[in-house]
Amino acid sequence: MFLKVTEKKKNSEEKAARPTDSTGSSQAGSRSTNSLSANSGQAGQAKPAAKSAKKVKGKKRKIRRIIPRGFAHIKAGFNNTIVTITDENHATLCWATSGASGFKGTRKSTPYAAQVAAKNAAEKAKEFGMEMVDVFVKGIGPGREQAVRGLSASGIDVDSITDRTPSAHGGCRKRKPRRV
């Protein structure tokens, strides 16, 4: 059934492509119609060739870079702790959070959850050959110090710890004084 439908479509396309004279009949005649249908394989050769040129896609191998030194960015919020390991260009290699480590609700904001998140990030970073990190801590959440301890406990050397917590310097403009 499917073949018949496609043959009908081909025949109708061939008829539409043929030039016609003023009487509406094709100029080529019936003999050339047979030759066109015989040569239809040649005329549409690009389409079957394109179908047969499909490549079988295999799994692409991931190329793991060996990066012995990098940075660990720790964002310690009140509700969650995010640990991101980057290379020396600050391109992210791996990350882990308290929530992704299996903690939910108020347990995400505990120091222990931050330590587990840091250990998970360190294990992922070891696959890249990470041995030493400079740590940047941002935020004032409860897991900020424990996350640094989790990194060092997992076998990655902590070279330096820098506090990058944003602080207000003058703050917003005060509201106008109230007139009574």
In single-letter form, the type of residue at position 12 comes to S
What tokens were used for 148?
């640094």
At residue 1, the pLDDT reads 45
Q: Is the pLDDT of residue 179 over 70?
A: yes
> What was the pLDDT predicted at 72?
97
Summarize pLDDT for 129-151 with one digit per residue, the tens: 999 999 999 999 999 999 999 99
The beta strand positions in 27-173, using DSSP E, are 69-76, 81-86, 92-97, 132-138, 157-163
Average pLDDT on 34-47 reads: 51
Residue 32 confidence class, pLDDT cut points 50, 70, 90: very low
The CATH class for the domain spanning 69-163 reads alpha beta
Give this prediction's pTM. 0.61
Q: At what angle do helices 144-153 and 111-126 cross, to 10 degrees?
A: 40
Between 17 and 169, name the one with better pLDDT: 169
Structure confidence at residue 164 (pLDDT) = 95
Instruction: Report the chain's mean pLDDT, rounded to a whole number.
Output: 80
pLDDT given for residue 180 in this prediction: 87
